[in-house]
Structure 1
């Protein structure tokens, strides 16, 4: 952006509203599945592993597409790709709602994520292209980050309300009216072709990144899943090879998709990685928490949806604070405060048990939202601040990967640990039962598959119903504790990375000045 360019676009409030509304569409779609998972499991008799894939499907679609689509938007038109993404979101949502099987639902969720990958990265890149560096851009990014995070939470609330009066498929239609409203506003007020690139797009790099990230997320889902470990490990090995190939390609391509000269700077890669861990912790914790609240604490979908409202409150309350703290103290200090809040949330969740009062549940979600708001604003500002405006699609796509890839991986890992812990705990319960000898292999597999599957078995054997339900609750609780313990460890590792590697505020400003 030239020195004499305006600090903000014409009709800036309306432009920002359009971009935030488009971002909300993507985040509602990610959140809507979480609260519906128990009913989806009941409808299809799905295993915990398949339910995990439903839950992470949209994040998976976003993860595999944002880098490539962000580059395409930089080259061929950010507004145009944003419009296409919103249109396809409507179609994908309808397919998901009408899915006749859990496998079709998973495919529809991935399609929803790819549509969101056309829209979501362009919202942040347009903010960066249309607002000049300074407090105005920081405030716009803070609002974008906080409202996006709130949508991830309130999507669960709205889905819980809808599921009280409608079937599970209605949860996947929540984004449709928002997408239509956003589409109209984007067409009307968002400028086209501002500070876009004229360089060719590295299509080979885009394909390598999509395949590598997709293999990583699927491998993380399956590596700990009962009976799927070999496939999961194979996918993780394939992911490592593909991502090494992607880096090799980027180091040699004349017009790389991912500029390594920018990415290797500490104000870029450290916020990207540590932001993915913290924001992924928010999404992963809610992913496990929704199932815990409904299956162990006995909340209905509406109660479970409203239970995460404190997370939305934390995100909203900390949005203005995060913007001021980033400008005053820099990325490292802001991220560390955010990490402290997220870690406090996970420690609280480790104390959740059957019969836990809502006060403790709400406190955990409040700390989770507050911490995520601080981390999201600091990381997004740092990424976009050090990246040239003509390549800002790379920065915005990386910022999106924090929530998309971070959320998918954390949900995958925590979900896999939840599934493995559930299966292991239920196996122990079966072995200790006086009726263990009379339980066949098929029934044993059904009992260990998921909470919903165990309930189906309980209905078939009413004489053992109470014992099966109690064992299922205890097993899910054991799996959730294991998941939150691993989540806590990941948060500690992320905080250590920030402390040891991220530069101080003064050094950060110097690096940004010399690299822009």
Structure 2
């Protein structure tokens, strides 16, 4: 019986370069990637409008953002296994159909609860989309040089979508209600449904993991309590149910791992985690995404609610940084062929640390120019690091297990998105509340709204008007800026941790 390393080396040795059809398939597979990245960015910029219309609490705000990645993260491993067994292209098409349908329902949500439920439904079908795209790339591009470039395009498409999202979303929010941003899924996914059956070859694992209901239940029982516990920890601290929830999730996680090691054809091949490069690249992915999403969470609010920019102006302010992310992701490809990942990834992440430190040093003097410069630095580091780490994850798994490897990679990505919003977003909310000092004369009901969220404070200031309204607005802006400074330092620390992980765990990986 071949070892996992022998399977990978044999597959890479037998790799064949693809022609125009393979590159055309790559273009088609980028459509769902584009959609997901656009959706994430648009939602951040639409949050002030959603807050004004649906009046969600601070906890509901976090759930509106996080319901999607929470459900998605819990189902990714299951969906990756289903794709390996029944066909990755078929699962992709099913996910695209469902995602477009539920997105249309989210567009007309009459309440915060409805929107949260719709976002959870999008997570179910999103779990079918993302592992399928990455695993199909692994099966199409068997030549490592071509695969490295294809994954750079895949990673850069996230950045391209993030760059397009604020612009398109800004235009939509200038002329239509916030619900219009969810309708973007329909025109993006229709070409996928038409072209994928023609251009994208079906692939599956000849010896797939079993469909194990117990393992599916255990994977959900692991992810949901852990992520929900982290959310509660950010809002209520150690006095709430968070510690118990996290312990419960960890307990189910131990049971999940033990079951995968015991059964003959496990749902998730745990041998993947014995490869240091695979585990290290996963950790880099997770921590990098925490830093990126955490930055976007507060910068979107700062641009619109503190600096007073429109959604379109805020989106345009982030375009240079997102363009830098795309450029860095593509530029690092030839560098990664010659320089070891343990050097490339930490060097790239040093730029991201610089971006966070610029925000922390500026304090309440943070203006548009500084935010643009900081995001350019952050984007350069994340773009390069994500390209290298994603390629290492796929290169560390045999093609037959591409679905499982892709699912684990996407789980780390989505968990990072949840943690970025929950940890950094929750910390920022807590700091905002502790630093907010409202002037005398503010009615109790208005003060309660102002203390809940920054958007609530700005809406309260507009309702009050006059000198009292101006005082509320200034107090809220100062409290938020003070929170941003501390949060930026935490974000910088997380990126430093990602660089240390890369330097210590990727030492055995080859640059080519």
Query: TM-score, structure 2 length as denominator?
Result: 0.92
State the SS of the aligned residue for 2:235. coil
Residues 205-241 of structure 1, C-alpha deviations (whole Å, 9 max, x = no match) = 2322223222222222221215996133343232222
CA contact (8 A) 2:99 2:125 kept: yes
- Give the superposition deviation at 1:423: 1.2
CA contact (8 A) 1:30 1:58 kept: no
1:457 maps onto 2:467 in alignment? no
Residues 311 and 212 (structure 1), Cα distance of their counterparts in 2 relative to 1, 3 Å cut? farther
Residues 199 and 401 (structure 1), Cα distance of their counterparts in 2 relative to 1, 3 Å cut? closer
Q: Among 488, 495, 506, which residue is 1:491 paired with?
A: 495
Query: TM-score, structure 1 length as denominator?
Result: 0.91
1:139 maps onto 2:142 in alignment? no
CA distance in 2, matches of 1:153, 1:223: 32
State the SS of the aligned residue for 1:337. helix
Q: Which residue of 1 is the match for residue 485 of structure 2?
A: 481
Q: Which residue of 1 is the match for residue 344 of structure 2?
A: 334
State the SS of the aligned residue for 1:258. coil
Residues 33-54 of structure 1, C-alpha deviations (whole Å, 9 max, x = no match) = 1000111111122222221221
CA contact (8 A) 1:215 1:238 kept: yes
- Give the superposition deviation at 1:297: 1.6
Q: Which residue of 2 is the match for residue 257 of structure 1?
A: 267
Q: Which residue of 2 is the match for residue 373 of structure 1?
A: 383
Any gaps of 5 or more consecutive residues in structure 2?
1-10
Query: 1:168-183 residue pairs with structure 2 within 5 A?
Result: 168-183=178-193
CA distance in 1, matches of 2:321, 2:206: 36
CA contact (8 A) 2:96 2:193 kept: yes
Residues 231 and 461 (structure 1), Cα distance of their counterparts in 2 relative to 1, 3 Å cut? farther
CA contact (8 A) 1:277 1:490 kept: yes
Residues 72 and 9 (structure 1), Cα distance of their counterparts in 2 relative to 1, 3 Å cut? farther
Residues 195 and 235 (structure 1), Cα distance of their counterparts in 2 relative to 1, 3 Å cut? closer
CA contact (8 A) 2:358 2:374 kept: yes
Residues 307-327 of structure 1, C-alpha deviations (whole Å, 9 max, x = no match) = 111222112211332211222
CA distance in 1, matches of 2:340, 2:412: 19
Query: 1:191-206 residue pairs with structure 2 within 5 A?
Result: 191-193=201-203, 196-206=206-216
CA distance in 1, matches of 2:201, 2:131: 16
CA distance in 2, matches of 1:162, 1:197: 47
1:110 maps onto 2:120 in alignment? yes
Q: Which residue of 2 is the match for residue 167 of structure 1?
A: 177
1:79 maps onto 2:84 in alignment? no
Residues 274-330 of structure 1, C-alpha deviations (whole Å, 9 max, x = no match) = 221012311221122101111112111111111111222112211332211222113
Residues 233 and 295 (structure 1), Cα distance of their counterparts in 2 relative to 1, 3 Å cut? farther
Query: 1:46-445 residue pairs with structure 2 within 5 A?
Result: 46-193=56-203, 196-225=206-235, 230-354=240-364, 356-426=366-436, 429-430=437-438, 433-434=439-440, 440=444, 442-445=445-448
CA distance in 2, matches of 1:164, 1:229: 42
- Give the superposition deviation at 1:411: 1.6
Moved more, 69-78 or 390-399: 390-399
State the SS of the aligned residue for 1:46. coil
CA distance in 1, matches of 2:495, 2:228: 22
CA contact (8 A) 2:15 2:144 kept: no
CA distance in 1, matches of 2:32, 2:167: 19
CA distance in 2, matches of 1:215, 1:38: 28
CA distance in 1, matches of 2:31, 2:472: 45
CA distance in 1, matches of 2:458, 2:326: 38
1:466 maps onto 2:476 in alignment? no
CA distance in 2, matches of 1:190, 1:229: 51
- Give the superposition deviation at 1:8: 2.2
CA distance in 2, matches of 1:233, 1:334: 37
CA contact (8 A) 1:39 1:168 kept: yes
Residues 231 and 375 (structure 1), Cα distance of their counterparts in 2 relative to 1, 3 Å cut? same
- Give the superposition deviation at 1:353: 4.6
Q: Which residue of 2 is the match for residue 501 of structure 1?
A: 505
CA distance in 2, matches of 1:194, 1:200: 13
State the SS of the aligned residue for 1:503. coil
CA contact (8 A) 1:30 1:59 kept: no
CA distance in 1, matches of 2:255, 2:166: 38
Q: Which residue of 2 is the match for residue 29 of structure 1?
A: 39
- Give the superposition deviation at 1:444: 4.1
Q: Which residue of 1 is the match for residue 5 of structure 2?
A: none
CA distance in 2, matches of 1:502, 1:6: 26
CA distance in 2, matches of 1:406, 1:174: 24
- Give the superposition deviation at 1:387: 0.8
CA distance in 1, matches of 2:42, 2:360: 25
User: What is the number of equivalent residue pairs in this alignment?
Assistant: 501
